[in-house]
Amino acid sequence: MPADAAEFTLGMFRAARRGEFAVTDPTLEAVLGRPATSVRSVRWWVGSRCDDGNARAR
C-alpha cells in the first residue's frame, strides 16, 4: 500500500476510534433529501447478503 494511502487509512481509523463519525450534522440529511444511513446498518445489510454472514469483498 502506498504511504499516502496508509496514512489516510490510519487517520480514518483514528478518527473513528475517537468517535468523530458517531454523529451526523443535520445538514447531511438536508443535502441528501432523506435520513442519513449509519455505517453500522450498511455493514449489517452487506453482511446479511454474504453466504457465510460476514461482510467482505468478493
pLDDT one-digit tens code per residue, 17-52: 999 888 888 999 999 999 988 877 777 777 777 756
Determine how many CB atoms are found less than 10 A away from the CB of residue 47. 13
Instruction: Look at 53 and 11; give whichever has higher pLDDT.
Output: 11
In whole angstroms, give the CA distance from residue 21 to residue 15. Answer: 7
The pLDDT confidence band at residue 6, using thresholds 50, 70 and 90, is very high
pTM for the predicted model, two decimal places: 0.49
